[in-house]
Structure 1
């Protein structure tokens, strides 16, 4: 056996077998050095007369997770991946690939360019380029449909979904599954090719019959989606090129790929991708996190149960506190249902669920929190209740325990002052359902210790959540901005638009749900309680819409009561509640409003301008560190259209001058509500953008 080290690619020979190992940890990203090393290795082994079969495998977590994100947005560097993969497919000697870990994008395209593929248990494959506004640009749209059924290839390419290895074997993406290490599987597979027991084939030589009806149906389905994004549609167009000779299909695929490189969708999706990493840059990043080995959750309602579930899924034992024994048992049952659901969805094993449940204690004794490392309070949004709890925790909890509050609006500084250790208190604002939603707003109070902030980030990482740092203000980043732009929706409702039209217009724009449907889902009583709390401080010049209050006064709180703005007799449909419509009409009459028409474009323009305006103020005041932090909050917690990249990324598409013109026009109707944020004016005057502020 001979071996040569050529980082990040290692080449071995063992008899008649040549082994190429991708060695670019942690995920073998296909950067320029690896591409060059792979190309050189193929040439070297082809030139070796003793070698009959070549096998490619990877060290670390996967064969390859795809492109090197460090190359995003930079000029291409030779050799290009398509050229390297064409070289592999054209190899004089058969080449096989071993697929392990999460092999995505260019990693799967690499495997597809080989002449046979072996999968390892637990592997997942996919072509997720559409999630970044692109399409597979290294032959994926030409090779995959030649290996598997056309409709299945279209689904995988246009959705970007990850395919479990057993399904990949069934579809024909991999030829066999081998329970071995990547190197062992590569060696065994190469020997099988040499001995004739593992057939090989070149995808370029596979002819297929294109079914135009399938292409047409897939394209029409994607055009009807809300929003209809360019990348999935272009990806299907690329697949349709398989009717051409292989080289021409590759050329057409590349041309369509380059068209998407300049699309606004791609910019927004790349920004959203990068936002998840950008929010990790916080002032406290170098502080040493405290160890969190046990946790307590106070409150067994929907939020507390979700938080407890998320902690258990992260491997942290939980003590869950409720006021009465029967409520503690009900909370435990709810956590069990959540974990059962995770098993059904394939998110955890039955053994993992049983282990998590064994780590859950439900009790009424607050004193049982004495030894835990972290407490998260998740009780009713009432300052007096939270203040009482934190006063008790101050006496009960051990020194150094992190005391977290899940408040959505309340003053974390005031809560911290209920203790003798405000440095240990932090806001941990989860979003419902807490075991599903990825956002965690970390609210840093004036006296919160840096290591407590670092602990929150470490906890978020364990829970696979996106943490965003917020300062203290009413509603923090997300709910403060929401409270403002939600008024714009209420004003349009009072002035003549129907709540059904507003929801539909914003869903067509790209939101998963419109504001009135969201209110019904969250519970209208939550917003009602907030409005009553803030009523004494409401400026007399503020225009106040009472429609939602009238609906709540009838006990109609949305889905949980069977009606709100909509009726929920049939959970599959969304029909307007005629009684809510009557309330809207009565309130218009009482306010002396003559209803007027709003176009869908006017609805989205007003809604987004209001959102951007308050977001600019949040950045200017330092509540959010940067515009990208606001974007991340709305992308991961509020269903903001991912292809738009977040409200302030979208604001740059409109431009500060155009936004100011809008606000000035709207201000003729309501000068109190429509005010130009100073930061927006500054950007217009200096020719800068919100993106520029992310670089500061």
Structure 2
């Protein structure tokens, strides 16, 4: 190989360029420089193509490296441009890389996602730093890879791995990517740029160039791969029957096995074009941006960067407390679990150990990871033992007197500036804050059960909560891997308060002639993974029982829900007692319709003289969801939520609302604010006060506007 004198070409003079070109030691360096994540925005694809052609025309260049400036390689397409015309597609720029007569090496660090990974797959070689995270997450946005990703990844890594990556949308670490054959080498302890130049020099003379498109179709599947394909088909039928993208992704992967490359790419392009303009994708894109918007706290911009919580405590080792403690440990945060009795503490620690052991048995956690997380959780029995913690979350039973006592004790022992948080799902934050001498440090951190699994943390701001406290609680929850949204303090806050009307209507429809299994079926057909009665059996019927008693005591006009109250009083609290809305046989968690429930419903209907009738599926759906849409509008009117989209985030992550519907309020817009208001008004006349239309709903309907564009009053 002839020696090259080092020649460095100046970066393109125009500082607005998002792709730069330089030559060093006979290697052309094409660098994407589009902060903050190097998204494939306007001009990036064109710049890559121009630089590839320039390098191929340069006699002094023997090889090419594609890399990203800053913290990432290329983190995917600009999602905001989906649905709009793009002069150059990822398919075209990726094809230019692959067609290069000189070897192209992708040097990946940080995120290499979506179109970013598709560009890397089109390169002839791929190296990565240990921090690289690769993925094709398009299905999460209701689309599929459209730059040849389904075709190249299947040819490189095989159909089983390809389907796993595409259908899950997960990020793959560098080591796993190397095992799958996606990455040729991992660069550790050396500057990636320097290593990429050295690697490119090493492959500069190799021919023929390894192009993914040249891999022959008609691959003979192994038994494991055939099994994986069959399992994917069954999973899509069962879990993704409401979605087109997963089925189209499977179709394209199968095409990579049976069709020439260009035919597979043409199919991929056609399926993507259909999905890009679909309602499914529009809703999923809305949900994507809603989640990011929820992290923004109006009024907290001047509080500075929130510090990381380095030690935490949880009061209560019950189901919620144990789950919160595991969430801390999962995030690498040491946590102390406080219980006043050794018996209760031992039960809680055993619950934590058993939960981790199940994950180890399932293969989602290694024994070493379990041991490391358990080492971060310490059981204690005195308040003095938690005094130095940065944050404490009270997670005891929903009784005001107990919570007031706990916050008084926390006030006496916790260090200045510690976050004093309550996991209450409904009780006014000010009640706990007023039990302390530092109400500015008190806020709600409402985790959803099971806390170690559910992603939502509703951060609740009391009337005296400092903006810094809200910002710090949000940062803490995000560090724990949670999705956060802020609510104002009121009965039920924003999440549960908006859901209570739905729960009320489903209970009242029982009294009028509907059955739990009918209502559950309607909601599953709508897209929920489980029906609300089946979910209630998991969480426990007794969880909301105390709240109903409290509301009834405070409000003489409160409409009691006789059926669930009687079931709780009969000892039917759900799966934990072997019976709730459904019966559970011999430890089996499969719900079975139960005649006992039907008898209780019939007794209540007869006792109160409630006429029986049949319900259509549409009436059930609308009566459940319109009630909550109306209440959400009232929450926004009162300034107990910042944004409509925040409520949608709460429903998506707290209540399992079908993501392809966008969220409660986004879905309501697909029906139309006028249609919702008209039906709510009609039911107000029929059922009375609980259906009184919200002012905001009426205003939006009258203006012919969209609910998702409404703004909440200031918290």
Same fold (TM over 0.5): yes
* Partner of residue 615 from structure 1, selected from 612, 627, 632: 632
Cα distance between partner residues in 1 of 2:390 and 2:152: 52
Which region of structure 1 is more displaced relative to structure 2, 665-674 or 439-448?
A: 665-674
Number of the residue aligned with 1:49: 59
Map 1:72-151; keep pairs closer than 5 Å: 72=81, 75-121=84-130, 123-150=132-159
* Partner of residue 5 from structure 1, selected from 11, 14, 31: 11
* Partner of residue 427 from structure 2, selected from 380, 403, 410: 410
Unaligned runs of 5+ in 1: none
Native 8 Å contact 1:297 1:376 kept in 2: yes
Cα distance between partner residues in 1 of 2:97 and 2:267: 20
Distance 1:686 1:172, change over 3 A: same
Native 8 Å contact 2:674 2:704 kept in 1: no
Number of the residue aligned with 1:18: 28
* Partner of residue 213 from structure 2, selected from 204, 212, 215: 204
SS in 1 for 2:420: strand
* Partner of residue 583 from structure 1, selected from 600, 618, 636: 600
Native 8 Å contact 2:421 2:442 kept in 1: yes
Deviations 1:576-618 (A, max 9, x none): 2332233223333333344322232322122111121111111
SS in 2 for 1:524: coil
Q: CA deviation at 1:14?
A: 4.2
* Partner of residue 266 from structure 1, selected from 273, 276, 281: 281
**1:232 aligned to 2:238?**
no
SS in 2 for 1:609: helix
Q: CA deviation at 1:262?
A: 1.9
Deviations 1:238-266 (A, max 9, x none): 45665665445434433332222221111
Number of the residue aligned with 1:256: 271
Q: CA deviation at 1:175?
A: 4.5
Distance 1:395 1:606, change over 3 A: same
Number of the residue aligned with 1:551: 567
Distance 1:480 1:103, change over 3 A: same
**1:690 aligned to 2:707?**
yes
* Partner of residue 649 from structure 2, selected from 619, 622, 632: 632
Distance 1:87 1:279, change over 3 A: same
**1:531 aligned to 2:541?**
no
Distance 1:11 1:333, change over 3 A: farther
Native 8 Å contact 1:227 1:508 kept in 2: no
Distance 1:554 1:358, change over 3 A: same
Cα distance between partner residues in 2 of 1:649 and 1:116: 43
Distance 1:334 1:544, change over 3 A: closer
Q: CA deviation at 1:470?
A: 0.8
SS in 1 for 2:543: helix
For normalisation by structure 2, the TM-score amounts to 0.88
Distance 1:199 1:92, change over 3 A: closer
Cα distance between partner residues in 2 of 1:23 and 1:180: 23
Unaligned runs of 5+ in 2: 1-5
**1:510 aligned to 2:515?**
no
Map 1:477-516; keep pairs closer than 5 Å: 477-516=494-533
Number of the residue aligned with 2:3: none
Map 1:236-635; keep pairs closer than 5 Å: 236-239=250-253, 242=256, 246-282=261-297, 283-288=299-304, 289=306, 292-338=309-355, 356-540=373-557, 543-568=559-584, 569-635=586-652
Number of the residue aligned with 2:40: 30
Cα distance between partner residues in 2 of 1:453 and 1:563: 40
Q: CA deviation at 1:107?
A: 1.4
For normalisation by structure 1, the TM-score amounts to 0.91
Distance 1:225 1:602, change over 3 A: farther
Native 8 Å contact 2:139 2:246 kept in 1: yes
SS in 2 for 1:441: strand
Native 8 Å contact 1:134 1:231 kept in 2: yes
**1:678 aligned to 2:662?**
no
Cα distance between partner residues in 1 of 2:382 and 2:163: 56
Q: CA deviation at 1:395?
A: 2.2
Cα distance between partner residues in 1 of 2:617 and 2:113: 38
Native 8 Å contact 1:320 1:360 kept in 2: yes
Paired residues in the alignment total 693
Q: CA deviation at 1:140?
A: 1.6
Cα distance between partner residues in 2 of 1:367 and 1:695: 41
Which region of structure 1 is more displaced relative to structure 2, 95-104 or 471-480?
A: 95-104
Deviations 1:68-94 (A, max 9, x none): 34x435744544322211211221212
Q: CA deviation at 1:23?
A: 4.1
Cα distance between partner residues in 1 of 2:108 and 2:438: 52
Distance 1:158 1:325, change over 3 A: closer
Native 8 Å contact 1:443 1:471 kept in 2: yes
SS in 1 for 2:112: strand
Native 8 Å contact 1:628 1:694 kept in 2: no
Which region of structure 1 is more displaced relative to structure 2, 211-220 or 122-131?
A: 211-220
SS in 2 for 1:501: helix
